[in-house]
Structure 1
C-alpha cells in the first residue's frame, strides 16, 4: 500500500480574467485556487472524493498581479474520522525574478464522501516534527474557536 499524499502545491499564472477593477487578482479567483488545492490535497490523502465543509481565517496579506506565478500549497494538519483540516499558503512572484512573497493563508476543512454523499473514514494523520505538532495543536484550538463563532452566528440565521 502506498503512503497517502499529505501535501501538494498547485501552480497557476494569474491571467487577465482573474483581475478586479483595481488591477489586482480578485479574492474570488484566489479562493477558487485555494479550494482546488484543498481538494487535491484531501483527495490525495484520503483516496476519496471530498467536499468542502469549511473555509475560514482567510487572510489576504499582499496583492497578486496579472502575470504572476502563483503557488498554492496545501497540507493536512489534522484529521477526524472523515474530515481533514488543511493549511493553505498562497505565494506569488514574477516568473522572471522568482522573488516569492506570501499573499494569502487560511484553513480549509474537507470531508471525504462516497458516491451517495455519505461520509467515509480517512486515514489518521499523526504529527511527527515539532512544526507538525504545533500546527496540529493550532488546528485543534481553531476547531474549538469555530464552535464558539458558530454559536454567535446563530443570531444571523433563521
Structure 2
C-alpha cells in the first residue's frame, strides 16, 4: 500500500569498476547510487513509477574506497501534489565493522507518473516529530532557493 514505506536503504560493496583516476570511488558512480535509492524510496512511498525531476546540493564530504560497504539511505522529507523530496545520506566504511561515515548527502525530487508519463498525485507525508518538521521546513527553504537559482540560470540558456 502506498504511503507505508517512507524510507529505504541500499547496501552494497564499492567495486574496482567504480574507481576514478585518483583511486577513489567516482562521483558519477555515487550519483547513480543516489538516483537508484531516491527511486526506490519514492516508488515505495507513492506506489508508482517515479522519475527524477531534480538532484541538487550534492556534497561530497569524504571519499569512498573500493571494498567499502556503502549504505545509501533515502527518506521522504516533503511531499507536494505529485512530487516527493527525498533526503539522501551516503555512508561508507569497512565491511568488517559496523562503523559508517557520512560521505555524501543531497536532496532529490522525484515525480510519480502514470503509464503515459503524466504526473499523478502522491500520498501526503505529514511530519510528526520535531526533527521531521525541521526536514520539511528545510525542503521548503530549498524550494525557494531553487526558484532563485532557476531564474539566474535562465541567462545561461539564452544566446
TM-score band w.r.t. shorter chain:
over 0.9
Partner in structure 2 of residue 97 of structure 1: 97
Cα offset for 1:12?
Answer: 1.5
Cα offset for 1:100?
Answer: 1.1
CA RMSD of aligned residues (A): 1.0
In the alignment, the residues of structure 2 paired with residue 56 and residue 102 of structure 1 have an alpha-carbon distance, to the nearest angstrom, of 17
**Structure 2: runs of 5 or more not aligned:** none
Cα offset for 1:108?
Answer: 0.1
Partner in structure 2 of residue 76 of structure 1: 76
Partner in structure 2 of residue 118 of structure 1: 118
Partner in structure 2 of residue 32 of structure 1: 32
Partner in structure 2 of residue 50 of structure 1: 50
**Structure 1: runs of 5 or more not aligned:** none
Partner in structure 1 of residue 148 of structure 2: 148
In the alignment, the residues of structure 2 paired with residue 32 and residue 10 of structure 1 have an alpha-carbon distance, to the nearest angstrom, of 12
Count of matched residue positions in the alignment of Structure 1 and Structure 2: 158
Cα offset for 1:4?
Answer: 2.0
| Secondary structure of 1:106's aligned partner | strand
User: Deviation per CA, 1:110-142, whole angstroms, max 9, x where unpaired?
Assistant: 000000000000000000001000000000000
| Secondary structure of 1:22's aligned partner | coil
User: Deviation per CA, 1:67-104, whole angstroms, max 9, x where unpaired?
Assistant: 00000000000000000000000000110123210000
Partner in structure 1 of residue 19 of structure 2: 19
User: Deviation per CA, 1:19-64, whole angstroms, max 9, x where unpaired?
Assistant: 0000000000000000000000000000000000000000000000
Return 3-12 or 148-157, whichever deviates more: 3-12
TM-score (norm 2): 0.97
Q: Kindly report structure 1 stretches of 4+ aligned residues shifted beyond 3 Å.
A: none
In the alignment, the residues of structure 2 paired with residue 140 and residue 2 of structure 1 have an alpha-carbon distance, to the nearest angstrom, of 23
Partner in structure 2 of residue 7 of structure 1: 7
Partner in structure 1 of residue 62 of structure 2: 62
